[in-house]
């Protein structure tokens, strides 16, 4: 999509066109990629959260796909229960750090 996601967030956020946030990160190219943990991809989520805060975003955020965790079912790849719990905790930590400052 872009290497400067915070500028895209500011662009659409200032127009009031962000209704919810879908957290996801990948490694690779648009044609050949794998989904990564949110803290292992190239996206600077702190900078993204700071941009959301700057534009006054207060809407819902949720993780998108996550890797499957050892011991969890891979019945629905990308939607591992343990992986989603990890992602939600990571997102809450980031959001609390940025929005409470």
What range defines the domain where residue 83 resides?
5-99
Q: Residue 25 pLDDT > 90, yes or no?
A: no
77: phi then psi, degrees, rounded to nearest 5: -50, 135
Q: Residue 1 pLDDT > 70, yes or no?
A: no
Alpha carbons 66 and 34: distance in angstroms, whole number: 10
Total-model pTM: 0.84
For the residues 73-81, what does the mean pLDDT come to? 81
At 60, is the pLDDT very low, low, confident or very high (cuts 50, 70, 90)? very high
Alpha carbons 80 and 5: distance in angstroms, whole number: 26
Query: How many structural domains are present in the chain?
Result: 1
Nearest to 67 by CA among 25, 29, 30: 25
At 47, is the pLDDT very low, low, confident or very high (cuts 50, 70, 90)? very high
């Amino acid at each position: 999509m872009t290497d400067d996601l915070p500028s895209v967030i500011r662009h659409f956020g200032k127009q009031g066109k962000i209704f919810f946030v879908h957290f996801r990160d990948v490694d690779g190219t648009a044609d050949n990629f794998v989904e990564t943990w949110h803290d292992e991809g190239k996206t600077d989520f702190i900078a993204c959260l700071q941009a959301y805060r700057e534009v006054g975003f207060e809407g819902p955020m949720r993780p998108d796909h996550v890797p499957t965790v050892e011991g969890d079912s891979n019945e629905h790849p990308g939607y591992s229960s343990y992986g989603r719990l990890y992602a939600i905790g990571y997102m809450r930590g980031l959001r609390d750090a940025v929005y409470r400052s």
